[in-house]
Structure 1
Amino acid sequence: MKLNLVPARTGVEWVRLGLRNFWRQPLAFVSLFLLFMAVISNVSQLPLVGRFLPLMLLPFSTLAFMVAASVADSAPGNGNGNGNATGDVKKPTGALMFLAVARAMRTEWRSLVVLGLISAVYFFLTVLATAVVDGGQFVRSYFLGEAPAKEVLESSRFQVANMLQLCLTLPLVAAMWHAPALVHWHKVEPVKSIFFSLVAMFRNFSAYALFWLVWCGVVLISLACVALIATVVIGVGSLGSDAGAMAVGNVLMVGTLLALAAMAQASNWFTFRDTFKPD
């Protein structure tokens, strides 16, 4: 396995490929996203460990979407020249994508658990670090579920602590971006995969920065268009049923958010495919 340096414009191409890939199996991608959201929502309700289990599942969801996207990308006639990353030659269907995901989860679960533990421990330390700024208000609100008073929420120290925790989480996102895929496709050890993922993000920073910026633009434009459509629907509904128009508007907005989230996840496979090459 070797690192491939790509030009900045590749970030735009990753978004384009991700959008195209999503529309090959939109229902499968959205279903996969809803499945993980449902699991994360349920485990987050557990006492004590509920704050950390969603982080344990982060590597699993990352690899699941990359595997699903690789299957969709390997469809005959795509012209990508990569072959089938999962060994299947059939036309990709939703069932085939979920089967490939299940196979990957079963094969790599030990390494994914290790990555999940690292994620949870690191996140725990980032939350504790905020105590230096606000004296532990953010820590108590996060771990104990205490609702801070209004004056605490509006205080500069609490807001700085919140921002500090967010900034400290960014390296975790970079570390886990490629680590699960490196474990699966290149058989890299979990700790080494984190290092290689960080190096890849740093060496190709311009491409990844453009990738994120373009996705922000896609999300903003899409939500603006849906908001305009919803406004028209609600306006027309004011002549008839207000409740029905509001329901349609809400469904449009929620459906668009789900689709955009699944699209973004579907595009991550291409960032990995073009960044790491077999020896």
Structure 2
Amino acid sequence: MQAATLPFMSGWLWIRYGYKLFLSQPLAMLFWSMMTSVLITASYLVPILGQMILIASTPILTFISLSACQHIAAGRLMRLPMWVEPLRAPEIRRRLLGLGMAYLASCLTAGFLATLPFLDDLSAAINEQGVLDEHALIAAMQGPFITFGLLYVLISILFWHAPALIGWHKIKIAQALFFSMVACWRNKGPFLLYVVSWAGIFFALQFVAEFLGMLGLSPSSTQMLLTPVNIVLAAVLYCSFYPAYTSIFGDNNASAN
């Protein structure tokens, strides 16, 4: 399996093509964006366990998104039964669940490794009377957050293409992780631009929210105005995953299930 090496600007082209995919069937992708938002919100109803289930489900949700984009790119109208089509094959479902557990284990391990060196600083945020010093805690959390962020970059490289490689190529988890790592490393420039571009888009949206607040708009009104924008941006983000895969591994490798 050969992963192409793409020019730097491909990272921005993935976003542009994702936007075109979204415009092809906006209602379908808005539906999926809202569904994922509901799942994220529902995960907080059961603290810790809910988030763990959501993290473990990420590869399945990613493959569903990619499969939907594949149908849209082929000009097929997305219907409700088509959303569950990618999970009908028991072997694919089993491997994606296994990938999800590996992803969860990787995130938990990264969290542990990121926190361990800073335990003394975190403990110091609680005084002898057991009172939490919020300012000290915020300062103490900076180290773990930065460390986890760096570790998560490595995790993302391993898992980025793995759902598609397992779902469409039916390869083993270890092979999928390896091929994903190679593909991301060969295209580190485009992926850097891709991440920076999306970060810039979401920071711009945050700036708009702060600007509306400065104009006197209440936080609830600002949230009401920007929630639809967030849903659209999330839909475009999901759509951009598909060209990021097909431009590296080829359209012919995304075989229909």
Class of the TM-score when normalised by the shorter of the 2 chains: 0.7 to 0.9
Query: In structure 2, the residue corresponding to 1:92 is in which secondary structure?
Result: coil
Alignment partner of 2:184 out of 201, 207, 214:
201
Query: In structure 1, the residue corresponding to 2:24 is in which secondary structure?
Result: coil
Whole-angstrom CA distance in 2 between matches of 1:273 and 1:261: 20
1:43 to partner: Cα distance:
3.7
* Structure 1: unaligned runs, 5 residues or longer: 76-90, 140-146, 236-241
Query: Who is 2:170 aligned against?
Result: 187
Alignment partner of 1:250 out of 211, 220, 223:
223
8 Å Cα contact 2:122/2:137 also seen in 1? no
Query: Who is 1:87 aligned against?
Result: none
Alignment partner of 2:77 out of 56, 74, 92:
92
Query: Who is 1:85 aligned against?
Result: none
Q: Does 1:113 align with 2:97?
A: yes
Q: Does 1:166 align with 2:149?
A: yes
1:28 to partner: Cα distance:
1.7
Query: Who is 1:238 aligned against?
Result: none
Change (3 A) 1:138 1:119: farther
Whole-angstrom CA distance in 2 between matches of 1:226 and 1:10: 29
Query: Who is 1:150 aligned against?
Result: 134
Alignment partner of 1:104 out of 73, 78, 86:
86
Q: TM-score normalised to the size of structure 1?
A: 0.76
Query: Who is 1:22 aligned against?
Result: 22
Query: Who is 1:61 aligned against?
Result: 61
8 Å Cα contact 1:2/1:276 also seen in 2? yes
Q: Percent identity?
A: 21
Q: Greater relative contact order (Cα 8 A, min sep 6): structure 1 or 2? A: 2
Deviations 1:158-207 (A, max 9, x none): 32012212221222222221100011112221221111111111111111
8 Å Cα contact 1:137/1:148 also seen in 2? no
Deviations 1:82-111 (A, max 9, x none): xxxxxxxxx424x2xx43330102222111
Deviations 1:249-277 (A, max 9, x none): 43221111121112111111001001113
1:44 to partner: Cα distance:
4.3
* Structure 2: unaligned runs, 5 residues or longer: 124-130
8 Å Cα contact 1:226/1:256 also seen in 2? no
8 Å Cα contact 2:33/2:232 also seen in 1? no
**Count of residues in correspondence between the two structures:** 243
Query: Who is 2:114 aligned against?
Result: 130
